[in-house]
Amino acid sequence: MTEQKVGLPILSKFLTLWIFLAMIIGVGLGYIFPSIADMLGQLSIGTTSIPIAIGLIWMMYPPLAKVRYEELRKIVTARGSKIMLTESLILNYLLGPLLMFVLAWIFLAEYPEFRNGIILVGLARCIAMVIVWNDLADGDREWAAILVALNSVFQIAFYSIYAYFYITLVSSWIAGTSTVVEISLVEVAASVLIYLGIPFFGGMITRFYFLKKKGREWYDKVLMPKLGPTSLFALLFTIIVMFSLKGEYIVTLPVDVARIAMPLLSYFVIMFLLSFLVGYRSGLDYSRVTSLAFTAASNNFELAIAVAVSVFGLASKEAFATVIGPLIEVPVMISLVNVALWFRKRLYEKIKIVA
């Protein structure tokens, strides 16, 4: 019996149902009370929504408090670590951005604003919700933390360069016109600091303090069974807030939402299945393959939204496209959690993979 089932059996057992109910509630609130979007919009600092930031930070905090930071050096130097790092870099910084760019052009060739927004989502590699998806699928927490931290560093260094390359240069070669995208490294760093830095260091401090103060047995058997399930409540809260912000648009502009959803849906599924296959064929065990697949298939929508708003404006179609990103990602990722668990049963239940 897992710690989540001990603490909150109903929530963990029917999590998929609760997530879809949270989505419906969010859309309903946004449609019935359209002023809720303005009210939540006022609770912002710059392009950062305070309610969403609180939800995301708390959502990631418990899983990051479970990470065995004291063993990370041993994990990174263990057998198979070079494969993990190499494949993650290739999937995240060569294949992922290119795939989203191609899909954006396939599905949105006649809608340049939506296309640019989708490209921005593809360039923003995961640092937030992937921690929860990985945890729900029993992925390797330590490797998820390592890959997310790696993505954070690379985004600060390369996000603006990638955006200029794909949107200003390559798109102009195809369309004959260019869109100049100027992204400050400060914007990228601020997003990483807020959505990863706070829960990351919070989890690290919590773990080291209580391991020293109370011991490992108390930490694993008393604190974490109580703290861990709160991540799921934060997830449901975040989903309701996100969907309520665009509930009116989802109901009144379903064609635009569906149009934007096509490349996103294709991307999440293709990247997850391809990454899982790559990791599996490399001989990695289930937990590491799962971490590799989810970190490659997920995206940092917070950063994409912040950049789209600051570059193109809050009311722009580019910003609208980035906001649709998490609305598609949430149901797809919770479905892929179940796919990953099914893969474990079919591929790893009777075969021990040595990595």
Transcribe 106-159 into DSSP letters. Answer: HHHTT-HHHHHHHHHHHHSB--STHHHHHHHTT--HHHHHHHHHHHHHHHHHHH
Q: From CA 110, how far away is CA 254, in angstroms rounded?
A: 18
Residue 1 binned pLDDT confidence (cut-offs 50, 70, 90): very low
* Of 116, 119, 99, the residue nearest 317 (C-alpha): 116
pLDDT (mean) for 260-280: 95
In degrees rounded to 5, what are phi and psi of residue 49?
-80, 120
pLDDT of residue 350: 62
Per-residue CA distances from 161 to 65, 95, 154, 266, 336 (Å):
33, 16, 11, 25, 31
Per-residue CA distances from 269 to 263, 276, 335 (Å):
10, 11, 10
Structure tokens at 301: 């929508």
The pLDDT tens digits for 298-341 are: 988 777 877 787 777 766 788 888 878 877 888 899 899 999 99
154 or 96: which carries more pLDDT confidence?
A: 96
pLDDT of residue 169: 85
- Tell me how far apart the terminal alpha carbons of the chain are, to the nearest angstrom: 27
Structure tokens at 150: 């790696």
pLDDT of residue 339: 95
Q: What is the DSSP letter of 43?
A: S
At 225 the three-state DSSP class reads helix
pLDDT of residue 5: 41
Structure tokens at 3: 């710690």
Structure tokens at 111: 């809608």
Architecture of domain 3-346: Up-down Bundle (1.20)
Give domain limits for the chain. 3-346
pLDDT of residue 180: 65
Structure tokens at 38: 């303005």
Q: From CA 182, how far away is CA 217, in angstroms rounded?
A: 50
Structure tokens at 198: 């706070």
Residue 206 binned pLDDT confidence (cut-offs 50, 70, 90): very high
Q: Which residues of 97-118 are buried (b: 16+ CB within 10 A; e: fewer)?
A: bebbbebbbebbeebbbbbbbb
